[in-house]
């Protein structure tokens, strides 16, 4: 690969105080069976040796293949959104977390799946949940689908560390990322699921496990496969924060509503209006729209939260 060749996959890695595990992640990227990639690491003000380890890693590649940039210093989500802005024309985009270890075929598997499903804009998969020393514990949660905008409005199921965007979907995200940052969205991967499905592209969630997810005390988000974890996540529907996340997501989508299909613009407008209504009217409109989560229990909890008034909109 030379510096004149536009790589087919751009990898964005958000770094903050990740020196302890970053080398294992970088080595797993270097070991990918798919070789035509470039990596941009956005450091959010680390005070450990993570940036220095990245510079050492970059020295083993052609100039421009591995780059370190300064992040916005406004949290992980904003850091990933800023990385989307580094995208070049014609590139797919993948996202990397600093603590993971990718399996060697991760990128090739994503590309193959996208080739086999030409209407798909976003590929995602499952992970192998491990302890801090990368001893496997279990696979991440399976979701049966279907996957689409009505689900994306109320649930994140496409883990960002597994995602691969087509060039068209990646450019869509690049255009919409500033609005998402301004709206203060909670999670870039949830927003990507909404944006891509909202634009009318298919979203694929592979049942394969494509990376080792290192579970430790410093992770921003933990595993979601245990009963306790699922109960805690369902509990978030009632704590007031979930309603705020919905409002931020809706604001981001409304700012770029022209990128959505006509059908999904209408769904978004009706969903946003529903959030202003009393509980029973909100739940009734959710039902009319077909808004749902991936499991019956999750959908029931969502509707219960709507009825309780905990999702009601208080203003943009």
Question: pLDDT digit string (tens) for 99-151?
Answer: 999 999 999 999 999 999 989 999 999 999 999 999 999 999 999 999 999 99
pLDDT of residue 156 exceeding 90, the answer is: yes
The reported pLDDT for the residue numbered 40 is: 99
The reported pLDDT for the residue numbered 232 is: 64
CA 171 to chain CA centroid, nearest Å: 15
135 Cβ neighbours under 8 A, 6+ residues apart:
none
The reported pLDDT for the residue numbered 39 is: 98
Q: What is the mean pLDDT of residues 39-64?
A: 97
pLDDT averaged over the chain? 93
3-7, 30-34, 77-81, 243-247, range with the lowest pLDDT: 3-7
Q: Is residue 192 located within the same domain as residue 263?
A: no
pLDDT of residue 271 exceeding 50, the answer is: yes
Q: Is residue 43 located within the same domain as residue 129?
A: yes
The reported pLDDT for the residue numbered 100 is: 98
d(CA 84, CA 185): 15
The reported pLDDT for the residue numbered 202 is: 98
Asked if residue 60 belongs to a domain, the reply is yes
The domain boundary, picked from 222, 254, 288, lies at 222
Q: Is residue 215 located within the same domain as residue 240?
A: no
d(CA 238, CA 146): 25
Asked if residue 163 belongs to a domain, the reply is yes
φ, ψ dihedrals at 182, nearest 5°: -65, -35
The reported pLDDT for the residue numbered 2 is: 38
Question: pLDDT digit string (tens) for 209-264?
Answer: 999 999 976 554 555 555 556 566 666 777 779 999 999 999 999 999 999 999 99
**Could you give the residue ranges of the DSSP H alpha helices within the chain?**
22-30, 50-58, 76-84, 106-116, 149-152, 167-183, 188-198, 227-235, 241-255, 262-274, 279-289, 296-308
Q: What is the mean pLDDT of residues 179-183?
A: 98
Asked if residue 148 belongs to a domain, the reply is yes
Asked if residue 3 belongs to a domain, the reply is no
Exposure of 11 by Cβ count < 10 A (0-12 exposed, 13-18 middle, 19+ buried)? Answer: buried
The domain boundary, picked from 222, 257, 285, lies at 222
Q: Is residue 133 located within the same domain as residue 275?
A: no
pLDDT of residue 316 exceeding 80, the answer is: no
pLDDT of residue 16 exceeding 50, the answer is: yes
Residue with structure tokens 């993570």?
50
d(CA 204, CA 228): 27
Q: Is residue 102 located within the same domain as residue 236?
A: no
Q: Is residue 113 located within the same domain as residue 256?
A: no
Asked if residue 313 belongs to a domain, the reply is no
d(CA 293, CA 91): 31
Residue 171: give its domain's CATH number.
Answer: 3.90.550.10
Cα distances from 245 to residues 122, 207, 316, in angstroms, run 22, 27, 11
d(CA 124, CA 161): 8
Q: What is the mean pLDDT of residues 81-100?
A: 98
The reported pLDDT for the residue numbered 236 is: 75
Of the pLDDT bands very low, low, confident and very high (cuts 50, 70, 90), residue 159 is: very high
Asked if residue 316 belongs to a domain, the reply is no
Q: Is residue 166 located within the same domain as residue 246?
A: no
pLDDT of residue 6 exceeding 50, the answer is: no
First-last CA distance in the chain: 47
pTM greater than 0.75: yes
The domain boundary, picked from 192, 222, 252, lies at 222
Please tell me which residue, 292 or 219, carries the higher pLDDT value.
292
Asked if residue 213 belongs to a domain, the reply is yes
Q: Is residue 235 located within the same domain as residue 92?
A: no
- As a whole-number percent, the residues of the chain with pLDDT over 90 amount to 88
Q: Is residue 208 located within the same domain as residue 251?
A: no
286 Cβ neighbours under 8 A, 6+ residues apart:
271, 274, 302, 303, 306
Other CB atoms within a 10 A radius of the CB of residue 20 amount to 17
d(CA 205, CA 69): 31
Q: Is residue 184 located within the same domain as residue 252?
A: no
Q: Is residue 155 located within the same domain as residue 240?
A: no
51 Cβ neighbours under 8 A, 6+ residues apart:
15, 43, 68
Three-state SS letters, 76-91: HHHHHHHHHCCCCCCC
Q: Is 196 in contact with 165 (CB distance < 8 Å)?
A: yes
Q: Is residue 205 located within the same domain as residue 257?
A: no
Count: domains in the chain = 2
φ, ψ dihedrals at 172, nearest 5°: -60, -45
Length of the chain counted residue by residue = 316
Q: Domain limits at 127?
A: 9-222
Residue whose C-alpha is closest to residue 225's, from 286, 142, 103: 142
């Amino acid at each position: 690969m030379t510096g004149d060749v536009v790589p087919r996959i751009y990898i964005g890695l958000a770094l903050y105080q990740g020196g302890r595990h970053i080398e294992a992640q970088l080595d797993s990227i270097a070991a990918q069976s798919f070789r035509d990639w470039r990596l941009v690491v956005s450091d959010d003000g680390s005070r450990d040796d993570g940036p220095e380890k990245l510079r050492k890693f970059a020295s083993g590649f052609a100039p421009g293949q591995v780059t370190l940039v300064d992040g916005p210093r406004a949290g992980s989500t904003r850091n990933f959104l800023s990385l989307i802005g580094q995208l070049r024309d014609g590139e797919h985009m993948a996202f990397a977390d600093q603590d993971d270890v990718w399996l060697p075929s991760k990128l090739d598997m994503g590309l193959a799946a996208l080739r086999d499903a030409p209407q798909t804009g976003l590929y995602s998969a499952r992970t192998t949940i491990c302890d801090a020393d990368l001893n496997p514990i279990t696979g991440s949660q399976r979701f049966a689908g279907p996957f689409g905008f009505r689900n994306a409005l109320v649930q994140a199921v496409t883990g960002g560390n597994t995602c691969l965007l087509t060039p068209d979907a990646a450019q869509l995200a690049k255009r919409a990322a500033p609005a998402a940052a301004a709206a203060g969205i909670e999670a870039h991967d949830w927003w990507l699921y909404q944006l891509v499905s909202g634009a009318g592209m298919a979203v694929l969630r592979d049942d394969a496990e494509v990376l080792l997810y290192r579970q430790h005390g410093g992770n921003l988000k933990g595993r979601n496969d245990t009963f306790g974890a699922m109960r805690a996540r369902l509990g978030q529907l009632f704590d007031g924060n979930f309603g705020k996340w919905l409002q931020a997501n809706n604001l981001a989508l409304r700012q770029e509503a022209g990128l959505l299909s006509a059908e999904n613009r209408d769904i978004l407008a009706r969903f946003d209006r529903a959030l202003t209504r009393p509980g029973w009217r909100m739940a009734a409109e959710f039902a009319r729209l077909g808004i749902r989560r991936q499991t019956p229990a999750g959908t029931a909890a969502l509707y219960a939260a709507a009825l309780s008034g905990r999702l009601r909109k208080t203003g943009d």
